[in-house]
Amino acid sequence: MNSNQPFILEMAVHIVLAERADDFGRIRWLRSQRQVQTIDPNHLDRAIEFVKRLPDQSRDDLENWLFEYYSIDGFVKGYAVDIPVAETVSSLSQKAHTYYRDLRRG
C-alpha cells in the first residue's frame, strides 16, 4: 500500500473540495486513478475526515496547508531540504512521489 502520507492527504483535499462542489463525477474519477488505487480505502477515508476537521477550509487555506505538510515531510525525510521560494505543491508532490517510490523499491 501507498505510504506517501502527503499524497494521501492531497487526494483527500481534492476529494473534499469536489464534495463541496457536489462534483460526484470528479470524486469517482479521483478515486479511480491508478495511483489512488494504491491507497488503502480506509486510510483515504480517515484522511478525508481529518481534512474536514482542519480549522481553515478555504481552497487557498487547504493549498497552503498542503504546501506546509509537504515541506515538513520533505525536510524530515530529506527529499526537500532547501525549498526555493518558487516551489509549489505540485513540485513538492513530485519529489515526494520519487522519494516514496524509491523507498518501496528498496
Q: Are 70 and 92 spatial neighbours (Cβ–Cβ below 8 Å)? A: yes
Retrieve residue 88's grid coordinates: 509549489
Q: Please tell me the pTM assigned to this model.
A: 0.90
| Single-letter code of the amino acid located at 17 | L
Q: Are 53 and 41 spatial neighbours (Cβ–Cβ below 8 Å)? A: no
pLDDT per position as a tens digit, 15-66: 999 999 999 999 999 999 988 888 999 999 999 999 999 998 999 999 999 9
Cα separation, 103 vs 37, in Å, equals 18
Cα separation, 75 vs 11, in Å, equals 21
Cα separation, 40 vs 37, in Å, equals 8
